[in-house]
Amino acid sequence: MRKYFPIAIVLAAFAVFAAKDALFPPLKVSETPNLSSGRGQGHKETVSGERVRQDKPSWFGRDAAESDNVVHGTISRGKPFFVEMQKAGVSPLDIQNLVQATRHIFNFKKVQPGQKYSIYADRQGGLDSLKFIVDQEKILNVAKVGATYQTRIDTIPFLYERFVTQAVINQSIFMSLQGLDADPELANRLAAIFGWDIDFFKDIRKGDTFSILYEKKVYENGRTQLGDVLAARIVCQGHEHNAFRYQSKDGLTNYFDAQGKSLQKSLLRAPLEFSRVSSNFSYHRFHPVKRHYAPHMGVDYAAPYGTPIRATGDGTVAEATRQAGNGNYIKIRHNSRYETYYLHLSRFGKGVRAGARVSQGQVIGYVGSTGVSTGPHLDYRIKTNGAFVNPRTIQLPSKEPVPPAEMGSFDKLKNACLVGLLDARIQNETVCLGKSAPFKPNRAERLF
């Protein structure tokens, strides 16, 4: 038998070669229309230290005529990228080379179900190029140049459209937006913009009005995404509130009123998003543990264990320690005038220690019941010029207004927005005001 063994090896090799198309079928033509977006331009690229002449377009975007075969697909649940590519007809060697070529910008081990791809084959059935949707805004482009693959991640081309949605409120802003088939997320955007001055649960009345000027991103494939709110106007109980989005020359973006004053305050009204007030600021409160009357220089917010606590303003952590009565507590110095205190924490946030810088809205700790406490809550305190004040009634300081030297630019933007917002006949409607220039790959032009 031993003398026939080499002959058996040779026969097995011929059998595998004859069946190669069955084992690794070439890429098949899909009847789905190709997703190309125009031709690239030939140029020279440096590949692995070598100068390789690129005689044909290398990036995704070549026409179907340049590739005989194209397969469009979607990552299935529970299917690794390697399996998906094999199912589409890509050889194991091409898959390995593709993964190696893209590892510096994308990890194919982390693909998610639902991600779409388009595979282009050369005339010999090998992998020529790949288009892989990374997320809603990014696309991975891979193209074979010589014996190697060139890779890059691009922004999916889109344009901006401007809309004005306006209505007379019957029940709530949210319900009004739903009735207009507008994105209900706009209600949250308005609450974030005007939340310093308007309580959207208590202050809004039937007959109040609102107008919102905002953008939508419209992608090549028809998908839309809500963009920025450029301006908004709410008439609440006869009082007019305006907001205009403006980016100053130092790159900071904020919302300002018609006079250029910031709508954002230096301190948040409360350090918890979801809670209830269990004990108010008082100079004469009956202490539930010590059983006697004493001043209570803060506001108690009852909340479940582990509820995140936010810094109400930018500042420096002066103390992050434990005391007998206060339990785990944090003291933040915001400037020479304002200090805030956070008592009875279960634990501190990551990196929160004395001397650390924190920003407004940053999670600095979590609700607990350490120290003298009857249950999970946060005791929040504000000190102004060395004296404790009521956090619920203090007039919160605004952030910096539009710089005087930029008021001309701000007024120009404000007047452009007012044209769309200040319609004397506010009706329940959503109107498209216009769009930017045609699609331009990797670039979109704003209207303001």
Q: Looking at residue 111, what is its pLDDT?
A: 85
pLDDT tens digit sequence for 272-312: 876 677 777 676 555 665 655 668 878 899 899 999 999 99
Instruction: Quote the CA–CA distance of 107 and 96 in Å, as a whole number.
Output: 12
Q: What is the mean pLDDT of residues 10-16?
A: 50
The answer to whether position 56 is within a domain reads yes
Same-domain check for residues 300 and 243: no
Largest CA distance in the chain: 105
The answer to whether position 205 is within a domain reads yes
**Residue bearing the bigger pLDDT, 311 or 111:** 311
The answer to whether position 445 is within a domain reads no
Q: What is the amino acid identity at position 189?
A: R
Same-domain check for residues 26 and 151: yes
Which CATH number fits the domain that encloses residue 148?
Answer: 3.10.450.350
The answer to whether position 293 is within a domain reads yes
Same-domain check for residues 243 and 340: no
> Which residue among 127, 155, 183 closes a domain?
155
Same-domain check for residues 367 and 417: no
Name the CA dihedral angle for 185, 189, 191, 193, rounded to a multiple of 10 degrees.
Answer: 180
Instruction: Quote the CA–CA distance of 261 and 58 in Å, as a whole number.
Output: 51
Same-domain check for residues 301 and 200: no
Which CATH number fits the domain that encloses residue 280?
Answer: 2.70.70.10
The answer to whether position 448 is within a domain reads no
How is residue 360 annotated by DSSP? T
Q: Looking at residue 281, what is its pLDDT?
A: 62
Same-domain check for residues 73 and 151: yes
Same-domain check for residues 30 and 147: yes
Are 60 and 143 a contacting pair, CB within 8 Å? yes
pTM, two decimals, is 0.57
> Which residue among 111, 127, 155 closes a domain?
155
Are 190 and 232 a contacting pair, CB within 8 Å? yes
- Per-position DSSP letters for 155-206, written without gaps between them: EPPEEEEEEEEEEE-SS-HHHHHHHTT--THHHHHHHHHHTTT--TTTT--T
Full domain range(s) for residue 342: 276-389
User: Which of 136, 242, 233, 226 has the alpha carbon at shortest distance from 185?
Assistant: 226
Same-domain check for residues 171 and 194: yes
Q: Which two tokens stand for residue 16?
A: 């595998």
pLDDT band at 332 (very low <50, low <70, confident <90, very high): very high
- Per-position DSSP letters for 192-233, written without gaps between them: HHHTTT--TTTT--TT-EEEEEEEEEEETTS-EEEEEEEEEE
The answer to whether position 9 is within a domain reads no
Instruction: Quote the CA–CA distance of 213 and 220 in Å, as a whole number.
Output: 23
| CA angle 435–224–213, rounded 5-degree value | 50
Q: What is the mean pLDDT of residues 248-267?
A: 90
Block residue for tokens 């310093």: 196
pLDDT tens digit sequence for 53-64: 333 333 344 443
Same-domain check for residues 54 and 132: yes
The answer to whether position 253 is within a domain reads yes
**44 CA to centre of own chain:** 37
**Residue bearing the bigger pLDDT, 340 or 289:** 340
Instruction: Quote the CA–CA distance of 266 and 336 in Å, as a whole number.
Output: 13
pLDDT band at 355 (very low <50, low <70, confident <90, very high): very high
Number of compact structural domains in the chain: 3
Q: What is the mean pLDDT of residues 260-272?
A: 87
The answer to whether position 396 is within a domain reads no
pLDDT band at 425 (very low <50, low <70, confident <90, very high): low
What percentage of the chain carries pLDDT values higher than 90? Answer: 26
Buried b (16+ CB within 10 A) or exposed e, 364-387: bbbbbebbbbeebbbbbbbbeeee
Same-domain check for residues 148 and 38: yes
